Amino acid sequence: MGSVLKGSGRLLAGRRVRLAAGALALAGVAAVAAVSHGQTSAGVLKVRLGGDSHQTRIVVELDKPTRGTLIADSRPAKGDPNPKVVLALAHVDVAGDMQGAGVGLVKAWSVDEVGGAAQVRLNLTHAAVVMRRFLLPPGDGVAVYRYVIDVGADPPAFAPAPMQPAALTKPAADPAKAAAQKFVRAHFETPPPRAEPALKVIVIDAGHGGKDPGAAGANAHEKDITLAAAKGLRDELLETGRYKVVMTRDSDEYIPLETRVRIARRANADLFISLHADSGSDPTVHGATVYTLSEKGADRADRQVFEKADWINVDLPGPNEQVNRILLDLTQRETRNRSSIFAETLLDHLADRTDLLRRSHRDAGFMVLLAPDVPAVLMEMGFITNPADERELTSGPDRRRLMEGVASAIDAYFAHDSKLASE
């Protein structure tokens, strides 16, 4: 099995972390996880939520374009203790009962038709603000319109305070947080000068190899399938001229897991993709899955960093451990959110190319996902123990079609990243 700000380097390992200034202030952008409820309507097709208590993203999938109007902000009206966001989507129909439990800052959500518009109501866990909202048209393999709403905690974590005279002299209540805020302002408050876009660095990790064959199917070993897929993806990306590709291995050799992480960090990777083929005792189970780092995995990475594990080699620049833990948390949260956003994008682009396992976006503490400053996913391309999946994974044309889907997801991910950076 298996950004915008570059500055002159990263926070970690003597380099600045590539974080968007807004993302630093807000402590992360939420990934979208599917949670649809009720009947499918003629206008509103699905509602998806994802994120955490710092920022939550709501995606309303539609069959036509719309214009959104904010009716109520998140602050409770006098006498109303329940913070909420209410938004109207013009000329959008709603059929059936659409409501569900929330995620992150959203306690619960509902969509009703009011006056010829779809009214989206978000009941919040506590006060928050709408950070941004925008409409994404169909494209890059996605057939629907998506109205995106990003809600952030009020006040957002580590957001610079408004520049008021009293704030300049008022002592900080928490010295560690104050030191972290000062570091963030010093390094990220002023946008860097515009430059010609550099090639994005993609690290492709072919799982297993050498003495580690991985899972076995009826006619193939995992290590051979992953290497063939990794080379195919490399060729797809290089053909675009937009990427620099680094392979953790390009032959049948054994590469320790720690070394794979080290390769990604040394390459200043913008994205790390580890390719694998799943296995199971039931030969009828089939389909692809994408993993991102779990909470336990993040805790494991924390321990490795502060125990000075040489394979991860993180050099935090704060004046003391308390500040360094805050900086590492900021970095990890942003990295995990970016990883989840790519995972969702990847699954969208794979849906019409291969079968997906139920609950296809999962989390785990895999070693190759532990780098705190490199967005990373582990993709199980299918089950080598399922005859149909094994045929697809060992077929050159089928495997090429799958890797074309991965390449198109990478294009879409960085195109969306650039769009947010320009707003």
Q: Which H or E element spans position 114?
A: strand 106-114
Q: From CA 329, how far away is CA 189, in angstroms rounded?
A: 19
Q: From CA 172, how far away is CA 312, in angstroms rounded?
A: 33
Q: Which of 361, 363, 257 is nearest to 304 (CA)?
A: 257
For 116-173, the pLDDT digits (tens) are: 788 899 999 888 888 888 888 776 567 888 888 888 886 544 444 444 444 444 444 5
The reported pLDDT for the residue numbered 313 is 66
Peptide bond into 165 cis (omega under 30): no
Task: Give the other-Cβ count within 10 Å of 170's Cβ.
Answer: 10
Length of the chain as a residue count: 423
Angle at 372 between CA 238 and CA 31, to 5 degrees: 75
Query: What sign results for the dihedral spanned by CA atoms 206, 209, 215, 216?
Result: positive
The reported pLDDT for the residue numbered 69 is 83
For 61-81, the pLDDT digits (tens) are: 998 888 888 887 665 554 457
Is 0.75 topped by the overall pTM? no
CB 292 within 8 A of CB 347: no
Q: Which residues of the chain have pLDDT under 50?
A: 2-41, 78-79, 156-172, 187-195, 420-423
Domains of the chain, first to last: 33-153 (2.60.40.3500), 200-422 (3.40.630.40)
Q: From CA 312, how far away is CA 200, in angstroms rounded?
A: 22
Q: From CA 270, how far away is CA 256, in angstroms rounded?
A: 21
Task: Give the other-Cβ count within 10 Å of 50's Cβ.
Answer: 24
Rg (C-alpha) for the chain, rounded Å, is: 22
The reported pLDDT for the residue numbered 382 is 95
The reported pLDDT for the residue numbered 182 is 59
Eight-state DSSP code of residue 329: H
